[in-house]
Amino acid sequence: SQEIISGTLDLLLKAYEHSVNSVEKTHKSIVDTTNTTLEKVPVVKGISKPLSKTHKDIIDTIYYSLKKGGKLAQKGADLIRQRKE
């Protein structure tokens, strides 16, 4: 039935959102740890901050896109629900 499909989509989208947020947090933590380590190595200390910033900018863009995709899917689920009503 339409309600089951709509409810299933809602559940999947919540799981998707939670997963994206969790992986993003972990990914940023890895970047921070790596940057902290690089800052201690004299040979690469000078490039550690620009490298970290570039990496964080890329991460922000990727996770922004993933989150927007999830919101778009949620709008689709909402449209399915509205058609039922």
**Chain centre to alpha carbon of residue 65:** 8
Q: Residues 6 or more apart from 80 whose CB is under 8 A from it?
A: 2, 5, 6, 9
Using pLDDT thresholds of 50, 70 and 90, give the confidence band for residue 29.
Answer: very high
- What does DSSP assign to residue 43? T
Cβ 28 vs Cβ 56: under 8 Å: yes
**pTM to 2 decimals?**
0.80
What's the mean per-residue pLDDT of the chain?
A: 90
7 or 46: whose pLDDT is higher? 46
